Structure 1
Amino acid sequence: MPIRVLIADDQEFVRIGLRALLTEPDIEVVAEAGAGDEAVRLARRHLPDVVLADAGIGIEVTARIVAERGARTRVLILTNSERDEDAFRALRAGASGLLCKDIDPRELVDAVRAVARGDAMLAPGVTRRLIAELADTVTVRTPGLPVGLLTAREREVLDLVVAGLSNDEIAARLVIGIATVKTHVGHILSKMDARDRVKLISLAYESGHVRPAVRTPRKYRNEDQPIGGHR
């Protein structure tokens, strides 16, 4: 079955361009929306796998679509800036990814496929900024859980996920195979009932596993790594 995509952007020419870009054998654009309410209504009607939304609309619709559809529909936010505060809010509301609009077209198509698989996609440089935002806003509510369900090795992997390392980097750091890393991340996602790595970062703060007082400084470099697209 093709990946069903709903495009949400208030500019028609952008929607036309995205529709043309997503003309792929395994992708079907089922609807287009120019406003938030319309996007929610069309998501309810067409049941897309992925909502590809501009940040201006995405912050409005993410929580509503996630509340109605859960993991059955994933929201991928497109923004003009990696520092877009609305986009960070959309991630905290349940969006599965954040990409800049200047992304290479082929990378955007691949990102739609990755999000449909259940992976998290973040533009380079976003991971550490997201962590800093979470550190500033998350309130610790459930100390010890669900992180307490993890093995020592899984907690070690979680620490590296929260630090923004990709699967390849985690494998190199722990001197283990990439397949082993994917297995550990899959177990962590399952035990913590998280949809993706974005949610894992949030839960790490909420559980008290990561303390807001110990957070990444607000100085970011171009080599910041994206959250990897593999479980």
Structure 2
Amino acid sequence: MNVFTRLQQFQEEACYNIWFRIFTVFCRVVLAASFIPSGIVKIMGERFTALPANHPLGHYFDALQLTGYYYTFIGIVQLCIALLLLIPRTAFLGALAYFVVIINICILTYATRFEGTRIVTLMVLADLYLLCWDYKRLKAIVWITSLPKVTLSKKFPFAFSGFVILAIAIVVLSNQFLYEIRPGNSMIECKNQSAGSKNPKGCAIFCDCIYQKGLPLDSCLKEYERSKIYQKRLR
């Protein structure tokens, strides 16, 4: 019996052991509990950490908070993952989603020399345990079973190609009209928007706010909106 077969047999026996089951439930509850407070903080739009801005991780979270609804989205995802972990039928899906998030956090904490690296590492190990607990489901995803052989077809997929072209067109056109103004990737790119803008002066104010004053995006958008109101009053 090789090592892999022994590990597989050990996993199957563990699934019928009461103490392993208790530990599994414990891991699910603890991991879910770790995401609930952080998720709520992000949904409420509050600062996530007490670390100063000059700390690499504190600076990272401050920048993350300024991303607006993306910050809120992360919080919603964390709460959804926590809920999936707490429901037995969806616990495996929760463990998979949790691993994607926690491995990113773990690497981030090591890269920034965060003091809580030990706890985050234990969270990674606990989630790996949960994935091993559902080994049969994980195996169905990781190890692809043999597929039936099919002959090569030269028939051009017109319907699928049309769908791809339509999807690209929708994405490109919708993004063109999604925002009235964008910061761009440089001062020149930002100010180039003034040519087709209904509020060129406001565009200049917005770009100066971003690249000269270095203020957050939300503050600069407010200045842009104030400039629009001012221009209307002048008319």
Instruction: Using CA pairs under 8 Å that are at least 6 residues apart, name the structure with larger relative contact order, 1 or 2.
Output: 1
Name the structure where helix makes up a greater proportion of residues: 2
**TM-score of the alignment, normalized to the shorter chain, above 0.5:** no
The structure with more radius of gyration = 2
- TM-score range normalised by the length of the shorter chain: under 0.3
Q: Which has the higher strand share?
A: 1
Tell me the TM-score normalized by structure 2. 0.25
